[in-house]
Amino acid sequence: MADDWTIEDSTQGPLAPGTLIGPYRIESQLGEGGMGTVYRALDTKLNRPVAIKVLSDHLSDAAARRRFQREAQMASSLNHPHILTVHDVGEYQGRQYLVTEFVDGGTLRDWAKAEKRTWRQIVELLTGVADGLAAAHGAGILHRDIKPANVLVAKNGYAKLADFGLAKLAETGDGPTRTLAEEHTRPGTVIGTIAYMSPEQASGKTLDARSDVFSFGVVLYELLAGRRPFAGATELEVLQTIIHGAPQPLGEEIPPALRTLVEKALEKDPADRYQSMREMVVDLRRLTRERVETTQPSVASAPRSVFPWKWAAKAVLLLLVAGAAWRFWPGAGARQIRSIAVLPLDNFSRDPDQEFFADGMTEQLIADLSQIGSLRVISRTSVMQYKGKRPSLPEIAKGLNVDAVVEGSVLRVGDRVRITAQLLQAATDKHLWAESYDRDVRDVLALQAEVARNIAAQVQITLTPQEQVLLGNQRRVDPEVFQLYLKGRYFYNQATEDPIRKGIEYFEQAIAKDASYAPAYAGEAFAYASLASIFAPPKDVMPKAKAAAEKALQLDDTLSEAHTALAFVKMMFDWDWAGTEKELKRAIELNPNSAEAHDLYGNYFTALEQYPEAITESRRAHELDPLSLRIYGDLLSNLIAARQYDETIAECRKALETDSSFSTAYAVMGLAYAQKKQFPEAIAALKKANALDPNPTMQLFLAHVQAAAGNRAEAVQLLAKMEELSKHRYVCAYEIAQVHVSLGDNNKAMQWLEKGRREQCDCLVWLTSEPWMDPLRVDPRYLGLVKQVGFPGK
Closest to 655 (Cα-Cα) out of 638, 681, 631 = 631
Q: What is the DSSP string of 646-706?
A: HHHHHHHHHHHHH-TT-HHHHHHHHHHHHHTT-HHHHHHHHHHHHHH---HHHHHHHHHHH
H helix intervals, 709-745: 712-725, 733-742
Any idea of the CA torsion for 298, 300, 301, 304, to the nearest 10 degrees? Answer: 120
Closest to 11 (Cα-Cα) out of 137, 95, 100, 87 = 95
Backbone phi, then psi, for 253, in 5-degree steps?
-70, -15
Burial of 62 (0-12, 13-18, 19+ CB in 10 A): exposed
CA separation (Å) from 311 to 298, 308, 317? 16, 8, 10
Fill in the amino acid letter for 564.
T
The yes-or-no answer on residue 145 being catalytic is: yes
**Sequence-distant (≥ 6) Cβ neighbours of residue 788 within 8 angstroms:** 757
CA distance 255 to 292: 7
Backbone phi, then psi, for 147, in 5-degree steps?
-165, 160
Interstrand relation of 106-107 and 151-153 (parallel, antiparallel or unpaired): antiparallel
- Rg of the chain over Cα atoms, rounded to whole angstroms, equals 33
Longest dimension (CA), the chain: 107
DSSP type of residue 573? I
CA distance 685 to 691: 10
Q: What is the DSSP string of 343-408?
A: PPPEETT--GGGHHHHHHHHHHHHHHHHT-TTSEE--HHHHGGGTT----HHHHHHHHT-SEEEEE
Query: Would you say 209 and 236 are in contact if contact means Cβ atoms under 8 Å apart?
Result: no
Burial of 185 (0-12, 13-18, 19+ CB in 10 A): exposed
CA distance 19 to 265: 45
Sign of CA dihedral 388, 620, 632, 645: negative
53, containing H or E segment: strand 48-55
Of these residues, 145, 346, 634, 762, which one is catalytic? 145
Catalytic residues: 145
